[in-house]
Amino acid sequence: MDALDARILLAVDDDPDATILALAKRLGIARNTLHARLRRLQEAGAVREFSRRVDPAALGYGLVAFVSVALSQTTGRRATAALADFPEVIEMHSTTGEADLLLKVVARDTADLHRISGELLAVPDVVRTSTVISLREELPVRTRALIERAADQRHPW
């Protein structure tokens, strides 16, 4: 990603509803250049789907929890696909340490979280889980400062 790609991402972040033509004019580049670069960024996975911007609380899932999952050391990797099938699992990371996976899970309330936790534990090859409830999001996922750094012409990336 070069500085122009980063500037394009910042412009889209500032005005996600802007047309290609309006963004191109704002950035001072050709419409075809903008369109080609945006397409390349999307194909490379730099621009993720719109649904990542939707707050689960707006859908009735106001409770957030983090679930550490220990898997069977011999067959546990098969469980990853089964865990990804849960719509309430909104993020999954392989980790080091005592747990093999860290899941970000959303639920309607603690009773719903209890149900989800039981279903996660019932997945074949899941050995144990440990759940921590988030009291408040102190800092949402953010990448803008990183994009701004990439857009800075003084940096080589």
- Does residue 106 register a pLDDT over 70? yes
Q: How far apart are CA 137 and CA 157, in angstroms?
A: 31
Q: pLDDT tens, 3-19?
A: 999 999 999 989 989 99
pLDDT of amino acid 157? 47
Q: pLDDT tens, 73-91?
A: 887 778 999 999 999 999 9
Best CA proximity match to 32, nearest among 41, 42, 20, 43: 20
CB 100 within 8 A of CB 94: yes
| Integer angstrom CA distances of residue 61 from 54, 56, 88, 105, 108 | 11, 5, 8, 9, 4
Split at pLDDT 50, 70, 90, the class of 156 is: low
| 128 strand-pairing partners | 70
Q: pLDDT tens, 133-142?
A: 999 999 988 8
